[in-house]
Amino acid sequence: MPAAKIAPSLLSGDFANLASECERMVELGADYLHMDVMDGHFVPNLTIGAPVIKSLRQHTNAFLDCHMMVSNPEQWVDDFAKAGANLYMFHIEATEYPQALIEKIHATGMKAGIAIKPKTPVDAVLALAENLDMVLVMTVEPGFGGQKFMPECMSKVVALRRAFPELDIQVDGGIDLTNIDVATTAGANVIVAGTSIFKADSPRDVIGTFRNSIEAKLR
């Protein structure tokens, strides 16, 4: 398995102080900063876009992991590349031409990832994974934070890890101290968490526990 990476979801942060929230998460041990981009169409919520990423890039050198919950992911590739995004994660359900989109993303210099919803079978991404930098297995329905973790999605993580031992496999949705071991045992090495980190008495300890759970599976 590749290295452990913890990616706090800034959707749970204070949007009025987003730059300082990003800085705080990095100081607490975050490897990536997970940016939830929602268009109000692919999912029933509206969050941030490329202008926010551009502004944040002026305040942080951190890895910006952009989860594109949008209906036309092809439309925004160049804007996010210019804004300073490091990884462009689109949903397989949102495009008819995923391979062409992967190539377009890579041509900008960004890393490319594909996300799959809980009801989307893993077969939808297996044929593409060798060309990807990351696959995201959603463990809640995308669109809102604070939802309950869906353990039935772990079979997809298991299948991906067996097929691609070196791939970054991310899980996102309801991850907390009660289920982190379930996710890492299945093979996830990139953990997205919002509520369980930002609302914790000690976010540093939560990040550390998540990392320890991943690394225990690497031994």
pLDDT above 80: residue 1: no
Q: Is 13 annotated as a binding residue?
A: no
Q: Is 41 annotated as a binding residue?
A: no
pLDDT above 80: residue 168: yes
Summarize the confidence of residues 172-190 as an average pLDDT: 97
Instruction: Specify whether the CB–CB gap between 5 and 190 falls below 8 A.
Output: yes
Q: CA geometry: angle at 68 spanning 182 and 103, to 5°?
A: 100
Summarize the confidence of residues 85-108 as an average pLDDT: 98
pLDDT above 90: residue 135: yes
Q: Is 173 annotated as a binding residue?
A: no
Summarize the confidence of residues 193-210 as an average pLDDT: 97
pLDDT of residue 218: 77
58 residue type, one letter: Q
- Model confidence band, residue 181 (pLDDT cutoffs 50, 70, 90): very high
pLDDT of residue 5: 98
pLDDT of residue 85: 98
pTM for the full predicted model: 0.96
Domain that holds residue 210: 5-218
Q: Is 143 annotated as a binding residue?
A: yes
Domain count, the chain: 1
Summarize the confidence of residues 65-85 as an average pLDDT: 98
The one catalytic residue among 14, 31, 36, 181: 36
pLDDT of residue 187: 97
pLDDT above 80: residue 206: yes
pLDDT above 80: residue 115: yes
pLDDT above 80: residue 145: no
- Model confidence band, residue 153 (pLDDT cutoffs 50, 70, 90): very high
Which CATH number does the domain housing residue 209 bear?
3.20.20.70
- Model confidence band, residue 84 (pLDDT cutoffs 50, 70, 90): very high
Cα–Cα nearest to 181, from 150, 138, 210: 210
69 backbone dihedrals φ, ψ, rounded to 5°: -95, 70
Summarize the confidence of residues 143-172 as an average pLDDT: 93
The one catalytic residue among 31, 39, 133, 172: 172
What is the average pLDDT score of the chain? 96
Give the C-alpha separation, 193 to 198, whole Å.
8
pLDDT above 90: residue 117: yes
Q: Does residue 36 have an active-site annotation?
A: yes
Q: Does residue 14 have an active-site annotation?
A: no
Pairing assessment for the beta strands 111-116 and 134-138 based on DSSP bridges:
parallel
Q: Is 40 annotated as a binding residue?
A: no
Instruction: Specify whether the CB–CB gap between 90 and 120 falls below 8 A.
Output: no
Cα–Cα nearest to 129, from 94, 158, 166: 166
